[in-house]
């Protein structure tokens, strides 16, 4: 136990060092990449600043591509330093990277070609294929103690249904982040909060466990999530209000897929879904428009009032609008901060819930 502890700590620290280097590399790369995407007319107008000089500025789009490239390089190089590697894990690690890489490709394709909404929705199910095909882990779920008498067993093997669930999780994580958007800093901000919660969760789990395989699973989550957190922080420094770059669907899909993958390989997708509480609420509020019962415009953003400089909620079903109606008009920046606080509260709630229910799975 002592040895694996030391080896894991060493791998995690090296991963942290690589991630720090990745942060600075991304900070350097984004301004360069911005010039290149603008040259190719890949830009967006900052809609919430209509009527101000800022609103008509062309903001470079899809800078998620810079994050994605740095991330992949880090994650690939890191394998050299994983001292506890066993071949089984390495197969899944590389399958995870293939899925993330495929997702970046499809996200960038979407940014360049602007594919229709229905197609957009299913792109992640293709990107998840490498992981689903290579996945050799168990397909069982542990029944919570109070439910065992009703289900009649302690462990339930779901077989292929479990793989279907993994695919759906990838579709949900990617799209739900992509549609909880439209404020400067919100797409990356929510990712940074959730990624930090995932990192903390993994550290707590490793510290509390004595089972080497369980510790390994959570360590692998850390190897994948730490570089994402670091490179995302670099992106946030440019995307924060007032944005000098936009992240693009390249980034939202990349972020969602990475979190889905770590939740799957770390076997804590239920915990992950509680971290995603704001995204679930936003998804439920969006359902009438997503399903086509209510007209869904290309952009569902709040209305900006140039006189007061404040945002007002519209009739579109989004959490952004819900917050504006509940708490009154806000500036774009303070609304984003409020939504990120809510995200942090959801993560805190998840830790509390896990602590309260700990006995259910023992
Ligand atoms: C999703 C949302 C859409 C929302 C958009 C905003 C659904 C079904 N889709 O679409 O309603 O309007 O995200 O990101 O809910 N933009 C800003 N300010 C920002 C961020 C983005 O004005 O802080 C605008 C820019 O013009 C930018 C564009 O949104 O170019 C990017 O939109 P994109 O990510 O392509 O939209 P979707 O993901 O398709
Ligand atoms: Mg988007």
Q: What is the pLDDT of residues 313-340, one digit of tens each?
A: 999 999 999 999 999 999 999 999 999 9
Asked whether the predicted pLDDT for residue 114 surpasses 80, the reply is yes
Cα(255)–Cα(68) distance, integer angstroms = 9
Q: Whose CA is nearest to atom 20 of ligand 1?
A: 182
The number of the ligand nearest the C-alpha atom of 298 reads 1
Question: Quick one: 277 exposed, middle or buried, by C-beta within 10 A (0-12, 13-18, 19+)?
Answer: middle
Whether this model's ipTM surpasses 0.85 comes out as yes
Closest CA to 22 of 236, 228, 267, 213: 228
* Contacting residues for 183 by C-beta, under 8 A, at least 6 apart: 48, 241, 320, 332, 335, 336, 339
Query: Is 265:221 a contact under the CB 8 Å cutoff?
Result: yes
Quick one: DSSP state of residue 156? E
Ligand 1 atom at minimum distance from 297 CA:
11
Looking at residue 282, its pLDDT comes to 98
Q: How confident is the model at residue 3 (pLDDT cuts 50, 70, 90)?
A: confident
Handedness of CA 127, 133, 135, 139 (dihedral sign): positive
Determine which helix (DSSP H) or strand (DSSP E) holds 304, and give its type and residue range: strand 303-305
Averaged pLDDT for residues 47-63: 89
Query: Is 34:245 a contact under the CB 8 Å cutoff?
Result: yes
Asked whether the predicted pLDDT for residue 80 surpasses 70, the reply is yes
Cα(8)–Cα(3) distance, integer angstroms = 9
Phi, psi of 250 (to 5 degrees): -50, -45
Q: What is the CA radius of gyration of the chain?
A: 21
**What are 342's two structure tokens?**
């809510």
Averaged pLDDT for residues 121-132: 96
pLDDT tens-digit readout, 156-181: 888 899 999 999 999 999 999 999 99
Any atom of ligand 1 within 6 Å of the Cβ of 179:
yes
Any atom of ligand 1 within 6 Å of the Cβ of 47:
yes
The number of the ligand nearest the C-alpha atom of 253 reads 2
Ligand 1 centre from 341 Cα, in Å? 21
Q: Whose CA is nearest to atom 12 of ligand 1?
A: 299
Cα(200)–Cα(216) distance, integer angstroms = 15
The number of the ligand nearest the C-alpha atom of 179 reads 1
Ligand 1 centre from 185 Cα, in Å? 12
Helices and strands in the chain, H and E counts: 14, 6
Q: How many residues does the chain have?
A: 362
Any atom of ligand 1 within 6 Å of the Cβ of 46:
yes
Query: Is 268:201 a contact under the CB 8 Å cutoff?
Result: yes
Query: Is 197:350 a contact under the CB 8 Å cutoff?
Result: yes
Any atom of ligand 1 within 6 Å of the Cβ of 45:
yes
Closest CA to 323 of 335, 314, 309, 341: 335
Any atom of ligand 1 within 6 Å of the Cβ of 48:
yes
Cα(199)–Cα(161) distance, integer angstroms = 28
Cα(267)–Cα(259) distance, integer angstroms = 12
């Amino acid at each position: 136990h002592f040895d694996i502890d030391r080896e894991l700590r060493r791998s995690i620290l090296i991963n942290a060092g690589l991630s720090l280097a990745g942060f600075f590399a991304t900070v350097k790369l984004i301004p360069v990449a911005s010039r290149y995407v603008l040259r190719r007319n890949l830009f967006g107008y900052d809609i919430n600043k209509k009527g101000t000089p800022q609103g008509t500025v062309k903001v470079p789009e899809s800078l998620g591509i810079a994050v994605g490239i740095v991330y992949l390089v880090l994650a690939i190089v890191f394998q050299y330093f994983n001292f506890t590697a066993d071949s089984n894990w390495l197969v899944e690690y590389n399958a995870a990277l293939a899925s993330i890489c495929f997702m970046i490709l499809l996200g960038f394709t979407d940014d360049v070609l602007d594919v229709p909404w229905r197609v957009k929705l299913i792109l992640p199910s293709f990107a998840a294929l490498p992981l689903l095909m290579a996945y050799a882990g168990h397909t069982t779920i542990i029944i919570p103690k109070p439910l065992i008498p009703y289900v009649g067993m302690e462990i339930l093997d779901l077989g292929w249904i479990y793989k279907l669930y993994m695919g759906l999780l990838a579709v949900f994580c990617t799209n739900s982040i992509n549609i909880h958007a439209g404020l400067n800093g919100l797409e990356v901000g929510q990712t940074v909060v959730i990624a930090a919660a995932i990192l903390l969760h993994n550290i707590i789990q490793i510290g509390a466990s004595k089972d080497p395989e369980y510790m390994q699973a959570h360590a692998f989550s850390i190897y994948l999530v730490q570089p994402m957190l670091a490179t995302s922080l670099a992106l946030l420094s440019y995307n924060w209000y007032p944005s000098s770059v936009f992240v693009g669907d390249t980034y939202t899909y990349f972020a969602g897929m990475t979190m889905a993958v770590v939740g799957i390989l770390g076997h804590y997708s239920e915990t992950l879904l509680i971290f995603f509480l704001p995204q679930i609420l936003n998804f439920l509020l969006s359902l009438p428009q997503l399903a086509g019962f209510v007209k869904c415009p290309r952009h569902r953003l709040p209305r900006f009032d140039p006189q007061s400089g404040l945002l007002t909620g519209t009739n579109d079903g989004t959490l952004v609008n819900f917050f504006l109606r509940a708490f009154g008009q806000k500036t774009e920046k303070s609304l984003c901060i409020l939504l990120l606080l809510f995200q942090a509260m959801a993560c805190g709630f998840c830790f509390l819930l896990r602590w309260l229910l700990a006995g259910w799975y023992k």
